[in-house]
Amino acid sequence: MAFKIFKKKDTGKSRKQSAREKNEHTNKEINIITWVFVIAFVALTGHIVYFTAFQSESFINNSYNSKRAELLARRIVRGRIVSADGKILAETVGNGAEEVRSYPYGSLFAHAVGFASQGGTGVESISGFTLLRSDDPINLRIKNDINGIKNNGDTVITTLDTGLQKAAYDAFGKHKGAVIAINVKTGEILAMVSKPDFDPNDIEELWTELNDDEENSPLVNRATLGLYPPGSTFKIVTALEYIKEHPDITGYEFDCNGSFTFEDITISCYHGAQHGHLDLKSSFARSCNSSFANITSQLDRKKFEETCSRLMFNSRLPSPFSYRESSVLINDTSKTPEVIQAGIGQGRTQVTPIHMAMITAAVANDGILMRPMVVSAVRNSRGTGVKTYSPTEYARLMSSEESRLLRELMREVVISGTGYRLQGTDGYEIAGKTGSAEYSKDKTKSHAWFTGFAPVDDPQIAVTVIAEGAGSGGESAAPVARKVFDAWFSK
Amino acid sequence: MATIFLTFNKYILIILMTVYSFQCFSVFRYKTEEERDGIYIWQDIAMSLIYMLSFLNIYIYTGEPEFIGFYVTTQVVLWLTILIYRKLYPEANKLLINNMCMLISIGLIILVRLNYQKAKKQFIVVVISLVLAIVIPFILKTFKRLRRFYWLLSAAGIAALSAVLIFSRTINGSKLNLRIGGISFQASEFVKIIFVFAMAGILTCVEHEKRHRIAAAVAGIHVLLLVASKDLGSGIIYYMVFVIMLFVGMERYKYLILGLLGAAVGSIAGYRLFSHVRVRVEAWADPLGTIETSGYQIAQSLFAIGTGGFTGMGLYNGAPNRIPVVDADFIFAAISEEFGVMFGICLILICLSCFIMFMNIAMRFNDKFYKLVAVGLAVTYGFQVFLTIGGVTKFIPLTGVTLPLVSYGSNSIMVSLIMFSVIQGLYVSVRSSNREGGA
């Protein structure tokens, strides 16, 4: 009741005095609220500054924002796109109504560099607003503004290498599919081929035709948007999970008689092969489906699911290009046949080539995935540097020891397994994994996969190849990869 | 010559805006209005220059002589407002008068750019509201016993919001407007002011032990009616005003803590109960992922702000009309796109200085009723600014409220002007009574 007594005493004072004390008292609360609001507004302002300075550049490069790009293009000549070796990949020529976007390499960079019109694709889209910003000296820009001359947009330096791109493009020949090469230590995308392709110089005239061609979908960049069954390349993931559960891999043994039956599913080896007595290394090297079905049947599904998530299945990829998410159905509740199918890369699992390249790059780079990048620097039209992008680590996908064991397995593929066509390289050695992914009822048809890296002792570059319907990975995809590696190491 | 002007104008506007908003805070260094006079003159010069240069830019770009006429008329009205206010109420707070005119000016410039018809309509409402606003300090001075009528005010507010819920048609999922004689009223806007007075009355006149319960009951009915009309933005504002007035009125921290806990629980319940709340939260979390549906507005708003960058695209060089409801809820994005983010930040600072001045005025009152009214209106204003700018910049999920005095909308601008005038009226009455009493 002390409270009440105090109140009584309070009323005993003169009204004015009490009001004044009261006032002082209440202002404390008002002060607190004022400060809370000031802090909230400062935080809001900080957010806006942060967004404008650091996030807006990548955010605004969106096809839904193309109207603003058009408006900028009225005042700025779209800048150049240049390769890592200094060649012009795209530039604007002519002026006024004659202004056209020219791609000197034609269809070679059709998907990687892309095209600027029709909403934009490739680097043209990724760097859309950078190309339309001028960082020329201010006096020059003002002079141009005053004279009503368009200013020159900035030049974008890519990580793409014309020599490597050409090698990949030629080696891939008339196949449908994709080739992608990544520098495993920096994440730089060195080459990216997708076929069928088109000549971006003629995009306006070809647009309707290319768009309507649903059978070949030439406009789709298969390297990042193509979802394929991974086939035996998925055994990298299954092997990783096995290694995690059994760090001593020498304990594994299996006798392959051509097929493996577990509960009510039977898995057969590719083209009816019988591999005989195997350990983990030879199971992997010879890509034995029966052995890997056996391995999968023993794996902890919950942990397998976690490993897949860590390798970015069913989730976002750090891809500068627009991409599709890979999917795999392994979890607590999935049925045994589904899991076993997934474990050998068949069933409903789907991956994009760039995703497979990222996994391979992480294996090669001691378990760490460097964030893939395609733009390395921005310069103004006169060549003065504006900005450089340094390589950044994206995530550790596996431990150093796990990656070492996987590298050993992948090396064995070339030494004694399905990757034998990659033997005898000049001055460097390749490691990798082949895949022959069945994609229809007709079991004789398969997509040919190869994903690998080189040199084995100090990996620099990862290459992933997918050739649609081209048969076995070892026969069709590995030789393409070899030519890409050769081109890189003969430089 | 014209191109040179267009090239430099956006930078000049940013510099003038920075000067103006910096002065908004330097006034707080001085205690009395007399000492602040010099600052206000600089502000008036900066404001007039911004208005003139913007319209010159508009005229050069469009070549429409009609805009010159609009400029001259509106500029004269704004100057007259400042002059009349100062003559009629010498004790009035000049920072608030300046800021009021500055915010109206920016609103009119961007509206002319976005949609001239709407700018004209807005101006007519501004004139009507200013006439109303100018007599408000006088009314407040005369009806000093207003606080005793808190029951009447509470009932009026509840009746108006109920009428909206029962009679109005649903537009975009929410019920907002009442049509009376062909004019559409957004009741939740007008009731805001009545609500603040009602709360202040309850928290000063009701028996001390019952205050908090009655206040909670009245506020609760208001908020529930708004939630039932799916006007969640207003619901949140009313709730926060209630919590803060209760905290200031009862001087107990527990009310603030309980109130904020209630807000948290209410937000979670809202998220669970209403699909339109979930949709907005999803759009906020990933505008690009939902760009084809719910994220479209916020993504376009961020495109505008991001493409404009710190220094802006310059008037007419952006594409603000790509943003849905750009003239109302998203006006901040349009301003940022064409005038630049730096200009936008200055605008935030002006709004913040209004809020601080409101609170500053609240602190000066000895009379608790006036103190609470000032706090209530300050929070109504400050919180609404935070919700709208935070929403369009993706700081918080969108709530669909307008930026007071800047956004298009006759209800919004009228109520905002009345709010400023009420504060002004309270300020005038306390300053003149202090003077009379020799305090």
Please tell me the predicted confidence (pLDDT) of residue A10. 42
> What is the predicted pLDDT for the residue at A270?
82
Q: Is there a contact between B305 and A27 if contact means CB atoms under 8 Å apart? A: no
The whole-angstrom distance between B42's CA and the closest CA on chain A is 25
Query: What is the β-pairing status of strands A81-82 and A88-93?
Result: antiparallel
Residues B321 and B244 occupy one common structural domain? no
Flag whether residue B391 sits within 8 Å of chain A, measured between CB atoms. no
SS3 content of chain B, % helix, strand, coil (to 5): 80, 0, 20
Chain A: give the shortest CA distance to residue B314, in Å.
12
A267 in a structural domain: yes
Residue A284: phi and psi, rounded to 5, are -70, -45
Q: Measured between CB atoms, which of B291, B345, B355 is closest to A64?
A: B291
* Tens of pLDDT, residues A136-163: 988 888 888 778 888 999 999 999 999 9
**Which amino acid would we find at residue B420?**
F
Model pLDDT, residue A9: 38
Give the residue numbers spanning the domain of B22. Answer: 2-143+278-437
Interchain pair B318, A65: CB under 8 A: no
Residue appearing with tokens 């891809």: A319
Residue A84 lies in a domain: no
Closest CA to A409 of A475, A453, A474: A453
Asked if the structure places residue A55 within a domain, the reply is no
B313 CB neighbours in chain A (<8 A) are 71
User: Which residues lie below 8 Å from residue A423, measured CB to CB, with a gap of 6+?
Assistant: A414, A415
pLDDT value for A7: 38
Out of B273, B291, B315, a domain closes at B273
Find chain B residues with C-beta within 8 A of A43's C-beta.
Answer: 395
- Chain B closest-CA separation from residue A62 CA (Å): 9
Backbone phi and psi for residue B119, each to the nearest 5 degrees, phi listed first: -60, -40
Inspect the interface and report whether the beta carbons of B307 and A52 lie closer than 8 Å. no
Residue B296 tokens, joined: 């479209």
Are residue B353 and residue B327 in the same domain, yes or no?
A: yes
Six-digit token string for A31: 């002060």
| Low-confidence spans in chain B with pLDDT less than 70 | 1, 170-176, 178-183, 434-439
Instruction: Report the pLDDT value the prediction gives residue A390, as an integer from 0 to 100.
Output: 95
Q: Does residue B312 share a domain with residue B235?
A: no
Burial of residue B129 (CB within 10 Å: 0-12, 13-18, 19+) is: buried
Number of structural domains (chain A) is 1
pLDDT at position A354, please?
Answer: 97
Q: What is the pLDDT of residues B94-149, one digit of tens each?
A: 999 999 999 999 999 999 999 999 999 999 999 999 998 878 877 777 777 778 88
Helix locations, B206-295, DSSP H:
211-228, 232-250, 253-273, 275-285
Q: Determine, for residues B305 and A51 on separate chains, whether the beta-carbon distance falls below 8 Å.
A: yes
What integer pLDDT is reported at residue B112 of this predicted model?
Answer: 96
Do B409 and B430 fall into the same domain?
yes
CATH number of the domain encompassing residue A446: 3.40.710.10
B3/A25 touch (CB, cutoff 8 Å), yes or no: no
pLDDT score at A4? 35
Chain A residues inside the 8 Å CB shell of B244: 33
If asked whether residues B125 and B249 sit together in one domain, one would say no
A56 in reach of chain B (CB within 8 A): yes
Is A273 within the bounds of a domain?
Answer: yes
Q: Which of B236, B257, B273 is the last residue of a domain?
A: B273
Residues B136 and B170 in one domain: no
The pTM of the full predicted model, rounded to 2 decimals, is 0.81
Count: domains in chain B: 2
Which residues have CB under 8 Å from B70's CB, separation 6+? B55, B112, B116, B119, B120, B123
State the smallest CA–CA distance between residue A211 and chain B in angstroms: 21
Q: Are residues B117 and B259 in the same domain?
A: no
| Domain identity same for B74 and B159 | no
CB atoms B4 and A52 under 8 Å: no
Q: Establish if A437 belongs to a structural domain.
A: yes
DSSP string across B270-326: HHHH-HHHHHHHHHHH-TTTTTTTTTHHHHHHHHHHHHHTTT---TTSS-GGGSTTT
Q: Which of B303, B379, B389 sits opposite A65 (nearest CB)?
A: B303
Choose the final residue of a domain: B244, B273, B302: B273
> Residues of A with CB below 8 A from B352's CB?
37-38, 41
Instruction: Give me the pLDDT at residue B274, please.
Output: 87
pLDDT < 50 positions in chain A: 1-21
What's the pLDDT score for residue B167?
A: 81
Q: Which domain holds residue A462?
A: 220-373+393-489
Residue A457 pLDDT: 93
Whether residue B95 contacts residue B36, with contact meaning beta carbons closer than 8 Å, is answered with yes
